[in-house]
């Protein structure tokens, strides 16, 4: 398996080298909005410890990611009056992984509404800011 690359985009976000619309942060995890959301409120949960994906993450770190994913899922369902939540996680190129820092997608869903194609439309910063505000309020 390949080594973890500290120059990946999520590592840069963790170090503050790139901006992100953060919605949740604790000692172990960070939750921030996807800049090309498949639906409003599409949030990414990442561990703060380096891990390429599910195949190499330490179980304790994975447990923190899943706990945060649940919090964000509950908040996303509330904030966006969603009917359900899609949770996605990809591993290695053949599995659909594009950024090689473990991440979980939490996507609020509405019955009968299709998700946008992955990485298709960059959302406006002001819309992301409003979605972040809604999620933070639902987490409070």
pTM: 0.96
State residue 82's pLDDT score.
98
Domains defined for the chain, CATH in brackets: 9-139 (3.30.428.10)
pLDDT cut 70: percent of the chain above it: 100
The pLDDT score that the predictor gives to residue 125 is: 96
Among all residues, which ones are annotated catalytic?
103
Per-residue confidence band for 2, with pLDDT thresholds at 50, 70 and 90: confident
Query: What integer is the mean pLDDT of 24-38?
Result: 98
> For residue 84, is pLDDT > 90?
yes
What pLDDT, on a 0 to 100 scale, did the predictor assign at position 76?
98
pLDDT recorded at residue 41: 98
Element housing 110 (H / E) = none
pLDDT at 35: 97
pLDDT tens digits, residue range 86-96?
A: 999 999 999 99
Handedness of CA 49, 94, 55, 26 (dihedral sign): positive
What pLDDT, on the 0 to 100 scale, is given for residue 106? 98
Annotate 4-30 with DSSP letters as a single string.
Answer: P-TTSHHHHHHTTSS---EEEE-SSEE
Q: CA distances (Å), 62 to each of 17, 55, 56, in order?
A: 24, 11, 10
Mean pLDDT of the chain: 97
């Amino acid at each position: 398996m390949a080594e973890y690359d500290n120059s990946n985009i999520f590592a840069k976000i963790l170090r503050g080298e790139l901006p992100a619309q953060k919605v949740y942060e604790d000692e172990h995890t960070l939750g921030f909005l996807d800049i090309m959301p498949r639906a409003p409120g599409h949030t990414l949960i990442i561990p703060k410890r380096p891990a390429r994906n599910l195949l190499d993450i330490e179980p304790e770190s994975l447990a923190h990611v899943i706990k945060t994913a649940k919090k964000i899922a509950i908040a996303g369902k509330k904030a966006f009056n969603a009917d359900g939540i899609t949770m996605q996680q990809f591993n290695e190129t053949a599995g659909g992984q594009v950024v090689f820092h473990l991440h979980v997608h939490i996507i609020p869903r509405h019955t009968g509404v299709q998700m946008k194609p992955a990485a298709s439309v960059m959302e406006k910063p002001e819309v992301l800011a409003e979605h972040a505000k809604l999620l933070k309020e639902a987490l409070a």
